[in-house]
Structure 1
Amino acid sequence: MKFAIIALCLVAAVLASDKYDELNDNFDISEVLNNPRLLNSYAKCLLNRGPCTPEVKQVKEKLPEALETRCAKCTEKQKQMGKQLAQEVKKHHPKLWSDLVALYDPEGKYQQAFQDFLASQ
């Protein structure tokens, strides 16, 4: 019985630590979307065309894995922010969107999964 309880605790600990850091959950995505200078700076980082802030560098490092796993390690807040950001950039900055897609999904292998992610609640 003790072994089962310890095993369940270990599984719970592994599952809990299998999420991305929640510190970025309080990031104000609307501030970036409504500030062309900030958006441009972040885009340059993500596109390997300029320096990165520590926060954007974290996102950049996790982006390939998040795309590959359909954001499996993302918190709900991170998923919401990702959807909002993707929808806004696609709609209002199509050139930036196409540059990001060309860099992070040049073969188009994540397109369907990403469309499913955007359509999910």
Structure 2
Amino acid sequence: MKLVIIVLCLVAIVLAADKYNDLNDDFNISEVLDNERLLYSYGKCLLNNGPCTPEIKQVKEKLPEALETRCAKCTEKQKQTGKQLARELKKHHPELWKDLVAKYDPQGKHQQAFQDFLASP
């Protein structure tokens, strides 16, 4: 019986490690998108051109891996937030979008995967 409990605990730990931390899943992306000053401040952080808040620093640290793995470790909320942010930046702030793409995907190797990600429900 003890062995079963230990194995279940280990499985739970492994499954929990398969996703990014969900502590910031309540982050309101609409507040950022509706506030140009805040949006560009966060953009500067992601582009290494300005200071970072702890939340955006976490995003910045995980972004390369998330792009590489097609957001495999993202929670559903993180995926939805990422899609909303990308769509809004591409449409309303193309210069910031271009700078972010140049920084995080300079060879364009994630473009098709990212388009597929944006097209998914």
Q: Say which SS state the counterpart of residue 25 (structure 2) adopts.
A: helix
Which structure 2 residues correspond to residues 34-113 of structure 1 after superposition, within 5 A? 34-113=34-113
SS of equivalent to 1:25: coil
Task: Supply the AA of the counterpart residue of 1:77.
Answer: K
Equivalents in 2 of 1:116, 1:2: separation in Å?
45
The alignment-based identity, stated in percent, is: 80
Unmatched segments (≥5 aa) in structure 1: none
Q: Secondary structure at the match of 1:22?
A: coil
Partner of 2:7: 7
Match of 2:114 in 1: 114
* More off after superposition, 55-64 vs 14-23: 14-23
Question: Partner of 1:31 in structure 2?
Answer: 31
> TM-score of the superposition, structure 1-length normalised?
0.93
Which piece of structure 1 moves more, 68-77 or 6-15?
6-15
Return the TM-score normalized by structure 2: 0.93
